[in-house]
């Protein structure tokens, strides 16, 4: 499934803040997002296109200020891009369906969950509770 649209189309249907984060690769301030400390059971879908991205089963508490997950729901649900916008190279995570910017993946996640930390902006997600 692909949900690609032009920036002009997205700008019409998204809120200003979601457009800034999802389409212009913005970052929410830490602890500003609504899902940082939410641990309800459910599926986190893309706020732009409703593609299922992360399960609450893989969400873990962190002190970084953004919702963090050990892995995406499937290999196809997200895509990775190399991001050189800061001094250190990071790996950007985007929605596999609509290319919305979601956040970055780091290798300092819990070892028992695979060692990765998908650090995601709350606003790029919608929680569909079980």
User: Please, which residue, 36 or 97, has the CB nearer to Zn ion?
Assistant: 97
Catalytic, out of 48, 95, 98, 119: 119
User: Please, which residue, 22 or 70, has the CB nearer to Zn ion?
Assistant: 22
- Strand ordering across the sheet containing 125-129: 52-55, 42-46, 125-129
Is 119 part of the annotated catalytic residue set? yes
3-state secondary structure of 29: coil
> What residues from 32 to 91 belong to the interface with Zn ion (CB under 5 A)?
46, 48-49, 51
Question: Closest Cα partner for 69 from 44, 92, 90?
Answer: 44
Residue 121 engages Zn ion in binding (rule: CB under 5 A): no
Q: Measured from the CB of residue 43, what is the shortest distance to Zn ion in angstroms?
A: 13
How far apart, in whole angstroms, are the C-alpha atoms of residue 122 and residue 11?
19
Separation of first and last alpha carbons in the chain:
23
Q: Which of 28, 58, 77, 97 binds Zn ion (CB under 5 A)?
A: 97
Q: Measured from the CB of residue 91, what is the shortest distance to Zn ion in angstroms?
A: 18
Angle at 98 between CA 93 and CA 104, to 5 degrees: 10
Span from 30-38, 59-67, 72-80, 93-101 in contact with Zn ion (CB under 5 A): 93-101
How far apart, in whole angstroms, are the C-alpha atoms of residue 7 and residue 19?
9
Q: Which residues bind Zn ion (CB under 5 A)?
A: 46, 48-49, 51, 95, 97-98, 100
């Amino acid at each position: 499934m692909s949900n690609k649209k032009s920036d002009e189309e997205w700008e019409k249907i998204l809120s200003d803040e979601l457009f800034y984060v999802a389409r212009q690769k913005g970052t929410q301030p830490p602890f500003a997002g609504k899902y940082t400390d939410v641990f309800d059971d459910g599926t986190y879908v893309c706020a732009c296109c409703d593609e299922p991205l992360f399960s609450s089963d893989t969400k873990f508490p962190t002190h970084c200020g953004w919702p963090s997950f050990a892995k995406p729901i499937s290999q196809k649900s997200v895509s990775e891009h190399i991001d050189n916008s800061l001094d250190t190279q990071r790996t950007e995570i985007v929605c596999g369906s609509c290319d919305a910017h979601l956040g970055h993946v780091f290798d300092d996640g819990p070892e028992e969950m695979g060692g990765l930390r998908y650090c995601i902006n709350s606003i790029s997600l919608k929680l569909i509770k079980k």
